[in-house]
Amino acid sequence: MLTLLFDGIAYGMLLFVLALGLAVTMGLMNFINLAHGAFAMAGGYVLAVLMQHHGWPFLACLPAAFVLTALAGALAERLLYRHLYGRPHLDQVLFSIGLTFMAVAAVDYAVGSSPVTIQTPEWLRGRFEFGEGAWQLGMGHYRLFVIAVCLVLALALQAVLSRTRFGSRLRAAVDDPRVAAGLGIPVDRVFLLTFAVGSGLAGLGGALGADLLGLEPSFPLKYMVYFLIVCAVGGTSSITGPLLAALLLGCADVLGKYYVPKLGAFIVYVLMIAILLWRPQGLFTREKR
């Protein structure tokens, strides 16, 4: 039981990092980017290519995945997404889902449809064992590493958004872009940097999850619903909401698949429906007056 809970926490933390960029763009920029999973997939393939074909160490590939996907996100924001700010959400959904299918087809054509296997370093393959019998706890080194990285990212992003000048500028630019621009805030650059960071976080999550979740061209479509569930259940007005929602859904998914394997991910959807019926605005979103 304790081992399952630990695995569920690790899975939830990974879902949190993968969905964090989507929560930022949805909650702070009011933009629905369903192509978010494509950036996560790109980060995973950056890790695989650098490790398998160029011999880069694992720890060096993680920041490379973040930087390269952030640059790709900045380029996409400048050339494509910027024209959809202020447009109806349906237009944003149709446009971004189209980009997702294009990315899936392009990766399938370039590298094939076979899953990619990632070999983690030797020091991340071990396992700690504590206790005995029903209270035995097994903690994999890699899952501990994922939890630690995700916690650092959550604390850092929360500090940036709530305690820095950039966070204040971003909130002002989202509330009223014209007034913010009149006060001297570079709204275009703020949105560009925010979108790039969100894409980079997706790439970093994809690189971290390549070993646990698998890596294949259908990755964006396979996990798109999970990203949306994290944002819908937790709300997008803070970092705390998606974090706790991801932990809840991760534990529910792992425990449900272990104890009731025939239902699979059905338990996650039931939990989502129950929470949204109770709080349609999400667990940590304040109701608008």
**Measured between alpha carbons, how far is 170 from 189 in angstroms, rounded to an integer?**
10
CB 248 within 8 A of CB 229: no
pLDDT per residue over 43-63, tens digit each? 999 999 999 888 899 999 999
Determine the pLDDT at residue 100. Answer: 94
Determine the pLDDT at residue 234. Answer: 84
CB 135 within 8 A of CB 71: no
- What stretches of 97-250 adopt beta strand conformation (E)? 127-130, 137-140
Contacts 24+ apart (CB under 8 A), 162-166: 166/190, 166/193
CB 39 within 8 A of CB 67: no
CB 29 within 8 A of CB 231: no
Q: Which of 286, 175, 180 is nearest to 241 (CA)?
A: 286
pTM for this entry: 0.89
Instruction: Give the distance, in angstroms, between the CA of residue 21 and the centroid of all CA atoms in the same chain.
Output: 6
Determine the pLDDT at residue 289. Answer: 41
**Measured between alpha carbons, how far is 101 from 223 in angstroms, rounded to an integer?**
13
CB 287 within 8 A of CB 281: yes
Determine the pLDDT at residue 133. Answer: 62
Which backbone phi and psi does 6 adopt, to 5 degrees?
-65, -45
**Measured between alpha carbons, how far is 233 from 274 in angstroms, rounded to an integer?**
10
Low-confidence ranges of the chain (pLDDT < 70): 131-136, 237, 284-289
